[in-house]
Amino acid sequence: MANITIFGKGKMGQTIGGLLESGGHTIDYIDLEGLQGRKVADIVILAVRYDAIAGLIEENKEHFVGKILIDISNPVNFETWDELVVPAGTSSAEQIAEELPDTKVIKAFNTSSAMMLQTKNVGEGHIPVVHMASDHDDAKKVLTDIIASTGLDSVDVGDLKRAREMEALGFLQMRLTKDQKVSPTGGYLLIK
């Protein structure tokens, strides 16, 4: 069982925390007040808004050395809902990895809605498949085991570069839900 630090106690932070607790893991939430002397666990999840990530990394850089860091963000332009705010040809996860060369960055969870993670269902009776991308196979193995402990399925979609397509997929799903083309309990199910 793993100790996991989650930065951010918003909807996604609490939802992922609850999911992982259901798998027997221990969660330490860090809120806006910061670490306040607390230590970061070996696995860190950033569950803050995309535009808060750069500042959070700047402030806590040394605490992330040697850790597994999971980026769950969907860097959508929430004013226009018409584009990602990350420059074309990269991804939030790749930007983070550039800032943290000694951290094992994984893109994960961004293609699973809070509803999917809460209900452990897409639609009715379909187990969500949590996507992950990273250049670190050992880190993906750790996350794969953690996800399996919660009863969800997962898929390793490849190198961190694939975060580009994961962020596109996350955006498309959010946009379809917003436009009511998809119900709150629906979304993309990967059928293996």
The residue ranges that bind its own copies (CB under 8 A) are: 82-83, 88-89, 122-123, 126, 155-159, 161-162, 164-166, 168-169, 171-172, 175-176, 179, 181-183, 186-192
To its own copies, the closest distance from the beta carbon of 141 in angstroms equals 15
CA 34 distance to own-chain centroid: 19
Q: Are 69 and 104 in contact (CB under 8 A)?
A: yes
Distance (Å, whole) CA 109 – CA 147: 10
Strands 26-30 and 3-7, how do they pair?
Answer: parallel
To its own copies, the closest distance from the beta carbon of 175 in angstroms equals 7
To its own copies, the closest distance from the beta carbon of 158 in angstroms equals 7
Nearer to its own copies by Cβ, of 63 and 120: the residue is: 120
DSSP 89: T
To its own copies, the closest distance from the beta carbon of 192 in angstroms equals 5
Count of residues in the chain = 192
To its own copies, the closest distance from the beta carbon of 75 in angstroms equals 13
Nearer to its own copies by Cβ, of 36 and 180: the residue is: 180
Distance (Å, whole) CA 135 – CA 105: 8
Nearer to its own copies by Cβ, of 28 and 153: the residue is: 153
Nearer to its own copies by Cβ, of 27 and 143: the residue is: 143
Distance (Å, whole) CA 120 – CA 1: 20
Nearer to its own copies by Cβ, of 99 and 156: the residue is: 156
Q: Are 150 and 20 in contact (CB under 8 A)?
A: yes
CA 92 distance to own-chain centroid: 11
Distance (Å, whole) CA 154 – CA 41: 22
